[in-house]
């Protein structure tokens, strides 16, 4: 994982919480080390899966994704980044 690229992706999400699409959140999650299971959510969401951290849903019904959900996802991704890139 490229820690600088992951930090930039999370900074982009943090700066523009209102305009996040499911695809942009999935991209941010992938840069932090999550894999995206698009078929697992029965169409209403995608699952972001990481072996060492919590899994979480990325809703696909709303575009852009609700701000509160973006904040929750961002907190999970920041924890994962701190776990995978300590001191960076």
Q: What is the pLDDT of residue 88?
A: 62
Q: How many CB atoms lie within 10 A of CB 34?
A: 22
Question: Global pTM?
Answer: 0.89
Q: Tens of pLDDT along 8-67? A: 999 999 999 998 999 999 999 999 999 999 887 677 899 999 878 889 999 998 889 999
- Going along the chain from its start, the domains and CATH numbers come out as 3-84 (3.30.920.30)
């Amino acid at each position: 994982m490229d820690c600088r690229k992951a930090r930039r992706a999370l900074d982009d999400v943090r700066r523009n919480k209102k305009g996040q699409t499911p695809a942009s959140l999935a991209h941010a999650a992938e840069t932090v080390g999550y894999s995206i299971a698009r078929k697992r959510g029965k169409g209403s969401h995608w699952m972001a899966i990481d072996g060492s951290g919590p899994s979480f849903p990325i809703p696909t019904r709303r575009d852009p994704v609700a701000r509160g959900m973006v904040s929750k996802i961002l907190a999970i991704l920041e924890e994962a980044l701190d776990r995978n890139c300590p001191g960076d």
